[in-house]
Structure 1
Amino acid sequence: MQGFSELRLGRLDEVKVSVVLHPGATLLSLTAGTLGGRPHGVPRHWQKAVMSAAPRNAAEVLRPLFAPSFSVIPDCVSPAVSMSEPDADTHLERLADLSPDTLLAELETEFQPAVPAQWRPVVERPGAWIHAYSHLMRVLWQEFRPVWRRADSLLKRERERIGAATVTDRLETVMGNLSPRFHFSGTTLGLPDQQAKRFDLAGRRLALVPIVSGNGASIFAFDDPGMVWIGYPLPALGVLWDDGDQKDAPPDSLALTLGQARAAILRAAGASLTMSEVASLLRSTPAAATYHCAQLEAAGLLDRERHGRHVRVRATAKGEALVALLA
């Protein structure tokens, strides 16, 4: 049964956040969602392209990484190996140059008291597996590189969005909207994980890594002593899913941050609105309108007041500032 690992962030105003545009995280997610059977939401035509490019032995090479009911991937073969130098060539070169002794030592440490069955063939021939895995990753990257390049403007815009939210004390809104697969409550972020554990950020840097693969992308590493990194779906990823070029129209930054419904409410709530007017605006039920308004109120972006028989909502100064910032 799917569980959740929890990352306790502590005080959000003390969290040191950076955005890392790392193609290695996208490559691993793409592989997991296409050849590894994981629910990363990779669109069908990207899946077909990757599967067509993959070597015949891809399933055998990847079996240790994506065994059912198991989610641990050694850091030395994950994007963690090059997170401080986020470019594809460095990542692929580090994989190719990985020492068999390093891999074996990490497997022994990671999987005490015994290496699980799916990794035993790797233990028997670590050098051969490293060669096959690094070759597979290079082949898949050559196939997917044009998509990563098309995503360049979206990736840069996402870095600007996170940066703006961080300096304006809106990290809570960002963390609550990273992915529909993540859970955020208070100062704790939950991420889907078959080996559910609890971790503390404990003053480490938090690296957010937007992933260009699918809308269910989820990759993370919490055990580095200096940094925690979380891979999440790049907002507005769907504009790349058509087989043609990226659309020219820029994405709605407010909607990417809050969701379409809440962005519409906050924009309209510069003037006072009744709840029935909110429901009409959203073309939704009163219950749905009330739910979205309650979430905006909890984030300090909306005020609700009762006037006789009606409840009216209006954007707070914080809400109006967010609309202005992301206009």
Structure 2
Amino acid sequence: MFEFRLGVEDLAATWFAYSPLQEAVLGLRARRRPSRYPEQQPWIAGWRERYAALDTELLDVLTAPSGFVPDFLTPRPAVPRPDFGGELARMARTPPEVVRADLLAAYPGGGCPLPPVLAAPIDDPAALAALTARIAEALEGYWTRCLAPAWWPRARSVLEADLAHRGRLLSERGAEGLFADLDGRISWRDGVLRLTDSTPVVQALGDSVVDVAGRGLVLIPTLGGLGAQTDIVQDGPPLITYPARGRATMAEGLPGPAAPAASPAASAASPGSAVPAVRAATAAPAGLVGLIGPARARLLMLLAVPASTTELAHRLGVTPGAVSRHLGALAAAGLLERTRHGRRVLYRRSGLGDALTAGRH
């Protein structure tokens, strides 16, 4: 168990961020553990050939069998929305002694020995520096060929929606409500934030008390985690990663078992009158469909999690213009709220919209 002791100044300095490099690295878990990440499998199937052409000898072992990755691969974001290239450059500058320590922490031996590609340079600083450069090159190729074209825009939308939700929760329910909603492993009481991780590797480390001492706390949503986690070794500004809300929507509108493709009839429907089916979980109640129509009912069901016009259009397989018209009508009726993040506008159901989708109209 980890205990983070936060004073008033630490709560004031707590902030949220997401990390494209972390998403790339932690996303490799989905290849090793497909049953735990069903929403990622259609994406992985779609880029199978491109991935096979990469440095898979190295990429396949960046995630240990335990699910851990060496900490140097996921440096703490310096800003709320860093770019992948900047993070990768920071990672590539990691000192060899840090790389060595983090590799050994992720692969502690016994039933989890270092793979040969990582073990060979472990005691040679120059070879470790070369390995780090090779890792950076492999991750850049993975990002460019597999993630950046379509996966990352979808993932970024989910992460942005999570940040919007957390900001709203903090303003409405304060720190206690915020921490209670992050993950079942996290609890908050009397200025102490507790993170209980039952993973054997973490349990073997014993309990750890972290005095935040004015440094603040960074909270990072991720698509690559099944539960809240912190660094294996806490020696920098503290952070906690937690599973992002809405991560299951990553598979919506994609072919595969997790998200059936739309039927020909649905695909041929006009954008203004109907939308393709994406998931059974978003099916609207018949009463709601009768009240506002099928297209707007489907949008309202999807907007339990904030999303942008472009993201909704992609998920539903219609034009952004068609989605925009429906969003405008729903917002004018008081069923949606808008939140601006830079140049992007996210929409989310209002209280009235929640009541309608729950059948309380």
2:25 to 23, 28, 31: 28
Offset at 1:160?
2.5
Shift of 1:90: 0.9
Q: Match for 2:151 among 134, 142, 147?
A: 147
Superposed, 1:28-177 pairs within 5 Å as 28-35=25-32, 39=36, 43-49=40-46, 51-55=48-52, 58=55, 60-62=57-59, 65-69=62-66, 71=68, 73-75=70-72, 77-80=73-76, 82-84=77-79, 86-95=82-91, 97-98=92-93, 102-108=95-101, 117-118=113-114, 119-123=118-122, 124=124, 125-142=127-144, 143-145=146-148, 146-177=150-181
In the superposition, the TM-score normalised over structure 2's length comes to 0.54
In the alignment, does 2:247 pair up with 1:195? no
CA apart distance, 1:192: 4.8
Give the drift of 1:88: 1.0
2:132 aligned counterpart, secondary structure: helix
- In structure 2, what is the Cα distance between the partners aligned to 1:58 and 1:22? 22
Write the distance in 2 (CA, Å) between the matches of 1:223 and 1:38. Answer: 30
Residue deviations 1:122-162 (CA, integer Å, cap 9, x gap) = 32532442233112212222212222213444433322322
Quick one: which of 210, 218, 222 aligns to 1:211?
222
What's 1:6 paired with?
A: 2
Report the secondary structure of 1:208's partner residue: strand
Structure 2 CA distance for partners of 1:8 and 1:22, relative to 1, 3 Å? same
User: Is the contact made by 1:33 and 1:39 (CA closer than 8 Å) also made in structure 2?
Assistant: yes
Q: Distance in 1 between matches of 2:44 and 2:52?
A: 14
Deviation at 1:229, TM superposition (A): 1.9
Greater relative contact order (CA < 8 Å, ≥ 6 in sequence): 1
Q: Distance in 2 between matches of 1:54 and 1:36?
A: 17
Query: Contact 2:54/2:141 (CA < 8 Å) preserved in 1?
Result: no
CA-to-aligned-CA distance 1:95-120 (integer Å, 9 cap, x gap): 4x436xx12354258859x9855143
Asked if the contact 1:207–1:228 (Cα under 8 Å) also holds between the matched residues in 2, the reply is: yes
In the alignment, structure 1 segments of 5+ residues that lack a partner are: 255-321
Alignment check: 8 A CA contact 2:4 2:194 kept: yes
Q: Which residues of 2 match residues 254-269 of structure 1 at below 5 A?
A: none
8 A Cα contact 2:179 2:188, kept in partner: no
2 CA distance for matches of 1:30 and 1:92?
15
Check whether the contact 2:39–2:248 (CA below 8 A) recurs between aligned residues. no
Does the Cα contact within 8 Å between 1:9 and 1:189 map onto a contact in 2? no
- Asked whether the 8 Å contact 2:17–2:221 carries over to 1, the reply is yes
Whole-angstrom CA distance in 1 between matches of 2:155 and 2:139: 19
User: In 1, are the aligned partners of 2:186 and 2:228 still within 8 Å (CA)?
Assistant: no
1:231 is the counterpart of 2:241: yes
Indicate the SS of the match to 2:221.
Answer: strand
Cα distance in structure 2, aligned partners of 1:237 and 1:120 = 34
d(CA) in 1 for partners of 2:198, 2:35 = 11
TM-score for the superposition, normalised by structure 1: 0.59
Q: Is the 8 A contact 2:58 2:135 kept in 1?
A: yes
Number of aligned residues: 246
Task: Report matched runs for 1:302-321 at 5 Å.
Answer: none
Q: For 1:6 and 1:152, how far apart are their aligned partners in 2?
A: 29
Greater share of residues in strand: 1
Q: RMSD over aligned Cα, in angstroms?
A: 4.0
Note the C-alpha offset of 1:232: 2.0
Separation of aligned partners in 2, 1:109 and 1:21: 21
Poorly superposed stretches of 4+, deviation over 6 Å: none
Q: In the TM superposition, what is the alpha-carbon distance from 1:39 to its structure 2 partner?
A: 4.8
In 2, distance between residues paired with 1:166 and 1:13?
A: 16
Q: 1:104 to 1:188 in 2, by over 3 A?
A: closer
**Partner of residue 265, structure 1:** none
Residue identity opposite 2:242 in structure 1: Y
Q: Retained in 1: the 8 A contact 2:218–2:240?
A: yes
Q: Aligned partners of 1:230, 1:91: CA distance in 2, in Å?
A: 18
CA shift in 2, pair 1:59/1:93, >3 Å: same
1:40–1:150 Cα change, 3 Å: closer
Aligned match for 2:304, one of 240, 245, 252: 252
Partner amino acid, structure 2, of 1:67: A
Deviation at 1:219, TM superposition (A): 4.9
What percentage of aligned pairs have identical amino acids?
14
Runs (5+) with no aligned partner, structure 2: 255-275, 279-297, 307-349, 356-361
